[in-house]
Amino acid sequence: MHSLSIAEIIDKLRKKEFSSQEITQFFLKRIQQNDQKYNSFISLCEEQALTQARAADANLAAQTAPSALCGVPIAHKDIFCTEGLRTTCGSRMLQNFNPPYNATVVENFLSAGAVTLGKTNMDEFAMGSSNETSYFGAVKNPWDLRCVPGGSSGGSAAAVAARLVPGATATDTGGSIRQPAALCGITGIKPTYGRVSRWGMIAFASSLDQAGVMARDARDAALLLSTMASHDHRDSTSMDRPREDYSRQLDKPISELRIGIPKEYFDQGLNAGTEKAVQEAISSLTKLGAKTHAISLPHTHLAVPAYYVIAPAECSTNLSRFDGVRYGHRCENPKDLLDLYKRSRGEGFGAEVKRRILVGTYALSSGYYDAYYRKAQQVRRLIKQDFVDAFKEVDMIVGPTCPSPAFEFGAKGDDPVAMYLEDIYTIAANLAGLPAMSIPCGLVDNKPVGLQLIGNYFAEGSLLNAAHQFQCHTDFHTQTPKDLT
């Protein structure tokens, strides 16, 4: 059963070839037997999952026009609040936090009849590009257990790549869906900022965070995103747009598609094997009728420095609530209130989170706000304008997702800047609020390479269409790690 896509699971559930309870039990057992190799899950909810599966089976049997995802097992990144199931954000600070409510994303899947298997591992508070910062231990890449799966949504990516779950939710602040999707050889999409509610999604950088999905292929991603994306009056940044069925235009030809190839994405920092795979993927798109255009995004080189002022500044503010008073980790026997604050935060947060809080607090402090934070926001506007200008000439922008395939654990741990540069091609889409996705496009040294597609605002359907057409004529998305059992 683990070889089935979500679309195939839906078809077989409707044909009653197996029940939701049977396939839920299958995946729970598969996780229990195999995840010690990958460490992709923080929590499993076996009893709750089986209860949901039985309810889905009853709905399917009653033939009351159930949702497409009714009975389909999925997993949630451990950044989404789940009622009665702990939500840790990969941090000691929240290791025992049990939310009293569900995030809107979780509510949407529950309303659709999907079954929650558990919560996936992640970089602490979504801060990282390698999934090495989790308090619960690093996640391993199923393609090479010596290598990182990417971050921060590495648990979701590894779980899908290892076929422990058919699909999973994830979040993307600077590339945290696309980068791990690329390094693990799966499909991941970050929608337009505001397309998916952030209510109940624990905040890292509020103007950048966006929820999305990870799946085996574009068709599965379309099914998941159609359920996830909705307007939410509880989220002031949620866009008031009607729901969309992203599966409807998957089979549309891409013969009229204009693809922009930014010269800045093919610079000297790009791995030669990665560049070759991406160029071959672009050639495949042109054979399907797409037309390529050379474009320039002149402020690309400023994306990383702008992001690493804005994101830490926002994280400094968002994480100030974790002080040991109301919820979260509390130190033992504090001497006074100041000691409570200092030791609770010092013990509860890991090194990368502390580093970003310090950077962000400095950037927002008196005397430095204009020099750093305001200037970074001005640069952000220039980066957005680059995309606005580009989309006057093209429909989509294509390039590499990451500068190189997955690297080994510890390779960049002593150099935060080198780690930050792993997101050099993905960050700009977050700064501009654009939809973007990564799809598998080849292998380098038996490690996956991702092709990034960036669309105009609310063009998720077009991205999924192009990705699906590419996957109809290639088999990269069907390839699995060699030791997969």
Q: Any idea what the Cα angle at residue 465 is, between residues 459 and 467, rounded to 5°?
A: 105
Catalytic, 206? Answer no
pLDDT (average), residues 439-464: 98
pLDDT (average), residues 144-161: 97
Q: 3-34: per-residue pLDDT in tens?
A: 999 999 999 999 999 999 999 999 999 999 99
Task: Indicate the pLDDT class of residue 368, thresholds 50, 70 and 90.
Answer: confident
pLDDT recorded at residue 353:
97
Residue ranges of alpha helices (H) inside 296-437 are 303-318, 337-348, 351-364, 375-390, 416-420, 427-432
CA distance 205 to 431: 11
pLDDT recorded at residue 326:
86
Q: 80-128: per-residue pLDDT in tens?
A: 999 999 999 999 999 999 999 999 999 999 999 999 999 999 999 999 9
Give which of 219, 276, 231, 12 is closest to 108, Cα–Cα. 231
pLDDT recorded at residue 421:
83
Higher pLDDT, 222 or 269: 222
CA distance 346 to 325: 14
pLDDT recorded at residue 412:
83
Give which of 106, 132, 81, 306 is closest to 205, Cα–Cα. 306
Q: Tokens 């192009």, residue?
A: 466
CA distance 251 to 478: 19
Catalytic, 152? Answer yes
Task: Indicate the pLDDT class of residue 65, thresholds 50, 70 and 90.
Answer: low
pLDDT recorded at residue 416:
81
pLDDT recorded at residue 34:
96
How far separated are the first and last CA of the chain, in Å rounded?
A: 12
CA distance 48 to 193: 31
Give which of 189, 180, 217, 214 is closest to 405, Cα–Cα. 180
pLDDT (average), residues 243-258: 95
Give which of 285, 305, 257, 281 is closest to 401, Cα–Cα. 281
CA distance 18 to 9: 9
Give which of 147, 138, 223 is closest to 182, Cα–Cα. 147
Higher pLDDT, 485 or 378: 378
Per annotation, catalytic residue among 176, 238, 316, 344: 176
Catalytic, 197? Answer no
Of all residues in the chain, the percent with pLDDT exceeding 90 is 93
* 356, two tokens: 């970003």
Q: 454-468: per-residue pLDDT in tens?
A: 999 999 999 999 999
CA distance 400 to 478: 20
* 261, two tokens: 């190839």
Per annotation, catalytic residue among 77, 119, 140, 447: 77
Mean pLDDT of the chain: 96
Q: 382-433: per-residue pLDDT in tens?
A: 999 999 999 999 999 999 999 999 999 998 877 787 888 889 999 999 999 9
Per annotation, catalytic residue among 152, 153, 156, 238: 152
Residue 112 phi/psi, 5° resolution?
Answer: -80, -5
Q: Which residues, including other chains, have CB under 8 Å from residue 57's CB and lie 6 or more apart?
A: 19, 20, 21, 71
pLDDT recorded at residue 483:
79
Q: CATH homologous superfamily of domain 6-257+402-478?
A: Amidase signature (AS) domain (3.90.1300.10)
